[in-house]
Homo-oligomer: A and B are copies of this chain.
């Protein structure tokens, strides 16, 4: 029997599922938003993922539908389930990735450590939250934000007036405590529909301008305790939210040594790209195995350290491949990944991973190799 996975969305996450799919012998098909997307080589259809008919038709020839992103509307997801299509992660899990207010409420119910938060319906409620939380707060639109978009740090209730004005009747924004964090962490786990869950070691993520810039794996100075605590949070959330496939939990580490859950991503995630070159099983292979309900692979790192540096923006002239010769000559140990996307300021167009036994060396090599693809 041929195993067929359909991926809705043709971005780099779908693209990076192609390599393990081809190696394992899984037939991967992609519903791309348009021509010439990152995952073009496996694109079997081009169409609108918000259109039920388009997605149902795409789903007809696959064993399971999964996703490059969390934006497929619940109405479309429900139609897939009604039609008997296996959908992983399922609609009931995805709602928590689609709506940050629902996520916060669910995590509270599960007793997960998280920042102080509240649903605020107007400037006055936001001002109350700010006053109760040290004079500042983070405000988020519950839906549609990513990579720092839909997130604002405010010190007055009126600072989010434009967002309140845009809310539907009865709608709310998410107000969160501005956490005094010392660094950001991310925990990758994967879970099968039948329940098996595995965790990679927790990593440190370094953001610039709200976008992930670097990942250090495992998180430096993470003791056994922190690794256990972070893995437990990932496992509990995956199980508690019935997540199937890959789950990334973005977390803050605070100056008083607590870990607080920041965001969730129910798919392979930028903070797990290091696993392609630095772990026995990559998050992309694992996601395929998980959504097919196959036993999960070992998550052990293959080196003491792996560091991933994003290529943001890309060259101001020419394409990424024009820089290959210089980058490869200077950094023969660097694993270079590009996404087939046109360079554009701030856009994630590729990444570089370097592994080794000396963290300083690995960080230096990864940054230096990635720098060949800048400006």
A166 within 8 A of B: no
Instruction: Name A17's closest neighbour in chain B (CB-CB).
Output: B22
| Residues B325 and A294 in contact, CB atoms below 8 Å apart | yes
A15 within 8 A of B: yes
| Residues A329 and B1 in contact, CB atoms below 8 Å apart | no
In the complex, what's the smallest C-beta–C-beta distance from A126 to chain B, in angstroms?
Answer: 44
| Residues B320 and A25 in contact, CB atoms below 8 Å apart | yes
Q: Which residues of B contact A297 (CB under 8 A)?
A: 328, 332-333
Residue from the list B20, B26, B303 in contact with A302, Cβ < 8 A: B303
In the complex, what's the smallest C-beta–C-beta distance from A192 to chain B, in angstroms?
Answer: 11
Q: How long is the Cα–Cα vector from A20 to B20 in the complex, in angstroms?
A: 10
In the complex, what's the smallest C-beta–C-beta distance from A339 to chain B, in angstroms?
Answer: 7
Q: Mark A257-286, 1 if CB is under 8 A from B, else 0.
A: 000000000000000000010001100000
Instruction: Name A281's closest neighbour in chain B (CB-CB).
Output: B332
A358 within 8 A of B: no
Q: How long is the Cα–Cα vector from A302 to B295 in the complex, in angstroms?
A: 24
A338 within 8 A of B: yes
Q: Which residues of B contact A295 (CB under 8 A)?
A: 325, 328-329, 332
| Residues A296 and B332 in contact, CB atoms below 8 Å apart | yes
| Residues A289 and B328 in contact, CB atoms below 8 Å apart | yes
Given A303-B302, A322-B1, A325-B294, A15–B19 Cβ distance below 8 Å?
Answer: no
* A interface residues (Cβ-Cβ under 8 A, vs B): 1-3, 15-16, 18-20, 22-26, 41-42, 276, 280-281, 289, 294-298, 300, 302-303, 318-322, 324-325, 328-329, 332-333, 335-340, 350, 355
Question: 6 pairs across A/B with beta carbons < 8 Å?
Answer: A15-B22, A23-B276, A24-B321, A280-B333, A294-B324, A298-B332
